[in-house]
A and B are shown apart, each in its own frame.
Chain A
Amino acid sequence: MNSSVIIFPGSNCDRDMDVALKKFGFKNKMVWHDDDKLPKSDLIVLPGGFSYGDYLRCGSIAGKSKIIQSVIDFANSGGLVLGICNGFQILTETGLLKGVLQQNKNIEFICKNIFIKINNGENKFFENIDKDVLELHIAHNEGNYFCTEDELKSLEDNNQIAAYYCGSDGKIDEKSNPNGAIKNIAGIFNEKKNILGMMPHPERMIDKSLSGEDGSIFFENLLKNLK
């Protein structure tokens, strides 16, 4: 399976994502934001970081970069697109995903492990995944997901909520919401479920001795689903 990770000025999880994808068997290529064509890919990843220094709004400048039109075309033709953290912010800014990531409710940069509960397993990202509660890492200042009431209703009606922040037992409550995100939303899909944006970083949880291995479960399963 071929994957591509887009690098923007200020991306800082691009290499981690490259390491993770290769570890689980993807043939990954790095693509510069100023290119206009994507290599042949089964998966495009927009990595975490601080593209363009988060100027204007997080992800807004990257959302207008040269490569983005190819990413939009790829996504609209059904291609699989994954946006992690800043990648999620970029996806909302391009309009590929609904809503917006606002500043965390408590105005603090949050860097810690959290748990997410996978809400929808009928898609390439989470189908047949062994665990539905994963321990992943978050590191962000703007992860407070917000959308209008109408948008929230349509996300819920179309089963587009990918994952919720939860406790280690899978319980979704206010206590386990790290950033004030509406309804504890940690990640969402587009209507067709071929685009996933989420704040938690699976690429940071792929090594037992360094962190944890719940990210490994995500990548192994994703590769299996794509084969």
Chain B
Amino acid sequence: MAKITIDGKVMEVPDGTNVLEAALSNDVKLEHFCYQRYLPVAGNCRTCMVEIEGPKGNMLTVGCNTKVAEGMVIHTLSPKAKAAQKSAIEMLLLDHPLDCPVCDKAGECKLQNQYMEYGLYDARRDVPRYFKGGKAEDIGEHIMLDQERCVLCTRCIRFVDEVPKTSELAIVNRGHEAKIDIFPGVRLDNAYSGNVTDICPVGALTLKEFRFKQRVWFLKKTESVCHGCARGCNMTVEQNKGHIYRFMPRENPELNKTWMCDEGRFSFDHYQTNRAAEVRVGKENRNLAYGIDQLAKLLQDIPADQVAGIASPTAALEDLYVMKKLFEKRFNPKNLAAPFWDKPGDADNVLKVADKTPNRQGLKLLGFDTEGKDLLARMEKGEFKIVLMMHNNPFGHDEALAQKVYGKVNALIVLSVHQTKTVEKGAMVFPVRTFIEKNGTFVNATSRLQRFRQAFEPENPDVIESSMWLACLANALKVEGFDYVDTPSVFNAMAKEVEALKGLTFNSIPSTGVVLAGLASVAEEPFKGIKAQPNVLGKKCEGECSKA
């Protein structure tokens, strides 16, 4: 630890931290542009200029490329530092086109924000503006490049060099002709290409999927976790009036840093198309209360041993818990399993894992049978009259077999998010919410319990969370102990019973998640062979350490 002083504020920060990181983590405002926490330092924008006291007098230097040292005295607000910061911004803005109204980055653009704060407003340029050209160039499957807006911070170049290690981008030409471009014959098509648009501080790199769809200031952001694979990258859901416009990675230093794969990033359309819309009983569309009522009547005359339940690793921990509890209290817990058939996905050393379900570890945590061979064999024999199917289709690989097996069941009860083939076969169908429309938790492949929050309420009030649906059914069957009000209350009840979750409440789970002790990790840690954290992260210094 090194004791330093920034603007008269004394603080202790870890050794090897740079001045910029020390300032930012201790609430000292210092503008920066080319510096990104999880990329190597380039130090080319010069906007984080600070004045450091030294034996030969004060020295102006960049904050990002200066490591802290014991007793360092730093000024970010001195007239010298301020003038240097201001002139750096002035240089960046010299030939930057003023097309903010058509630029997709407007509203979250670092250059725009800094200009509002430090800008000179009156340009001092007396020679004609130089326009590089190169507007709206298609450089990859998801990416558009605008060379005119680029300020050459090289964040994107450092990203493709360091994380996916594909190196498609480079600066070409020199001087005022310098611009970012792809190598000839190469396209920016790597599996993580979407990240370059997040880190681009200006509107030079934009996403085709988001381009012109919505202005960023209309978007409402909700903390969430990616549903695409067992890695569970942290992300925010950005929506307006119930329409999702994009997924953005959310910083988690212990898991995905600030990165996310394209597969997960562009999966948002999947959750708002082809949705199961109405409660269906037989061939008629009815409301939820009627459906639950009919189902309760049906279940009353059937021996508990002839009811099977199929859970799913795509369901939240709360859904699984309520289902398990219902089978323990009312039906036979041996008839409950979670066999899941899914196409195996690709894995890599960065973030992706082969298991494309978000909560298979959650099934293990609650003691579910994830193979369920015995249950499926009994289903094929026709031992069950009623099958309760939650977000799942264990016979997805074989349509003829599915037809045969489901034909032997008297009533197939389907809880589904999407309008699938299983939904068509169901005797009763209940549409349920996606993870975006509900609160809940997942346990990822490295045993990290992570919370996602509800982004918006679906239009149809009959579309409820699977956990709440199961609780409604339990209440209709007059089973005691299902008086849950919402999913957080389910989690809080579950945390009291499950050993690994002891002491946690839904709201006390940190936004970066907690690693559950006693649950073995089934995947390798992310970023194998990649220097994903080249900078020592700063640490907020509170209490004792900030005393002079």
Pairing of A with B:
no
B residues sitting closer than 8 Å to A (CB atoms) are none
A residues sitting closer than 8 Å to B (CB atoms) are none
